[in-house]
Amino acid sequence: MPDTGIPREAIGATAERSLVVNEEHSAVRWGSGGIEVLSTPQMIAMMEESAVDALRPYLPPEQQTVGIHLDVAHLAATPMGGQVTARATLLEIDGRKAIFRVEAYDAAGTIGEGTHQRFLIDVERFMNKARERLTQ
């Protein structure tokens, strides 16, 4: 099946991912700093996972999306033991490109926000091209 576009009815789709911050989510573990707080890479991963989850019901099994752009600010630190939730909301579709608003928050409020773009791909074709890169 060709990757012709993301269905228009997906606009407005939202998904969330939550976690309680522990050592595996910390800046120390991710190598993004020496402080025991939620790392920026972990927050970004949660935002991307939320975007994937938001689109999943609208895509056939042979199609997926890949992240192509992320513009995010990490605004506040969440210490160990704090619960964090990331949310992605599909704002716009431009052919095979999906544009999301992403945000993350803890009990005290917003800790991160920005935009994320994903691109619709046919998994088999995408993987063939990826493998070809290593043989050139």
**Residues labelled catalytic:** 40, 48, 74
**Terminal C-alpha separation, the chain:** 27
Would you tell me how many other CB atoms lie within 10 Å of the CB of residue 34? 8
Q: CB-side exposure of 40: number of CA atoms within 13 Å?
A: 13
d(CA 38, CA 36): 7
**Closest by Cα among 14, 13, 42, 9 to 27:** 42
